[in-house]
Chains A and B, each alone.
Chain A
Amino acid sequence: MELSRRVSLISGLRYKGGQGMLNWALHRITGLGILLFVGTHVVVSFFGQQFGDDLAFAINGVYESWQFQIFVYFSVLFHAFNGTRLALMDLFPALIRYQVELIWLQWLMFVPVYALPVYIMIQSALSGV
């Protein structure tokens, strides 16, 4: 039987996939976010570098700000950690049984690696360095 792809948003939100579903959704959202950010950033840098375009400098100014960087850093770091877990589970299929434990381990490793630079960024931004 063919899998139906026409699932409404409501029934999609009601589906209780737990941790795995949350990570799947976050992996997609952060991945598409990174693609959109890197794609526009490359094109905008090209226009800024070649033509000195004002709009290009304005957009890159937003991209360089520490507030925006907190989101970019979250996206890239989460995508990297989750991708590592997926690659490990593909390499060693026996790990799939411990998926939930691996996701908790992933968050346990993610939080300090994410929080420490973000703490330093916010602290130095607020103290005006």
Chain B
Amino acid sequence: MRSHRAARPSGSFEYGMWLLTRISGLALMLFGAISLGMGFILGGREYLTMPAMIRWMFFPNPNHVINSDIPDVSLGWSNAVWQIYSILMIFLASVHGFNGLRMVVEDYTDRPLLITFLRGLTIVLLLGGVIVAIYVVLAS
């Protein structure tokens, strides 16, 4: 299996993003499982419909279940632990997603200058998205 190892240049930017994509992808599934379990503990089984339960699993924000009849949604979620948990989830998901966008874009682009410009644009979108998402988490 030497050929598989040789295909990965270690220490480069591409290798780092390759590794980060795998780790963040697996970590996000773990986050989803924890959110689902926490949703059940907070009364999701009795008070939430299936769509609200899935929304909560994808992202454990009080606003995600505000239209359901769960008694007090901010109970148990509005503390530093879950805010850090949410921000970590946002960071991993954004890097994973925008790196995927970069890879798809670079599959269809072969001009070096255009690639540099599009990479800059992707970083701007990533930073903007992360900042807005963190603000939404801390304000809700």
A76 beta carbon closer than 8 Å to chain B = yes
Number of B interface residues, CB 8 Å? Answer: 33
Complex Cα–Cα for A43 and B128 (A):
10
Give 27 pairs: A residue, B residue, CB < 8 Å, sorted on A.
A5-B110, A28-B100, A31-B104, A32-B100, A38-B93, A42-B133, A42-B136, A43-B129, A49-B63, A49-B139, A64-B67, A66-B51, A69-B54, A72-B58, A80-B28, A80-B32, A83-B25, A84-B25, A86-B22, A87-B22, A87-B25, A90-B22, A93-B4, A117-B54, A121-B49, A121-B51, A124-B49
Residues 49-103 of A at the B interface (beta carbon under 8 Å): 49-50, 64, 66, 69, 72-73, 76, 80, 83-84, 86-87, 90, 93-94, 96
B79 beta carbon closer than 8 Å to chain A = no
Chain A interface (Cβ < 8 Å from any Cβ of B): 5, 28, 31-32, 34-35, 38-39, 42-43, 45-46, 49-50, 64, 66, 69, 72-73, 76, 80, 83-84, 86-87, 90, 93-94, 96, 117, 120-121, 124, 129
B1 beta carbon closer than 8 Å to chain A = yes
Quick one: CB contact mask for B96-140 with A, threshold 8 Å, 1 for yes? 011011001001101000000000000001000100110110011
Complex Cα–Cα for A49 and B61 (A):
13
**A76-B100 in contact (CB<8A):** no
Which residue on B lies nearest to A80, using beta carbons? B29
Work out how many contacts link A and B, with CB atoms closer than 8 A: 74
**A35-B98 in contact (CB<8A):** yes
**A46-B135 in contact (CB<8A):** yes
Complex Cα–Cα for A42 and B139 (A):
13
